[in-house]
Amino acid sequence: MLPKMNETYADFVLSVSKGGLYDMVTDLKVDKDKGMVIANLQPGLIEKFAYKFPDVNLIELDNAVNWILLKSRMLDMDKLDGSVKS
């Protein structure tokens, strides 16, 4: 299940994460019991987000990063499924 996410925040995260995943997170863990990814966010990303959106709770940043990660994983799985079926 994808977390609730604001497209503006996700677009911002993608725009400042030119180096990909390493610009977003320092560490990733999977919580199999909860069925979710736990990402430790890069301090630089947190600072940029807080500066750009000073009145927004950082939970929104966490949701945006998790949405990006899960969506990316789903797209990868779709590609794999497509290549197996071909």
Report d(CA 50, CA 45) in Å as an integer: 8
Tell me what the pLDDT averaged over the chain comes to.
83
Report d(CA 61, CA 45) in Å as an integer: 9
How do residues 1-20 score in pLDDT, each as one tens digit?
445 568 899 999 999 998 88
pTM for this one?
A: 0.76
Report d(CA 66, CA 62) in Å as an integer: 6
**Which residues does residue 31 pair with via DSSP β-bridges, in sequence order?**
36
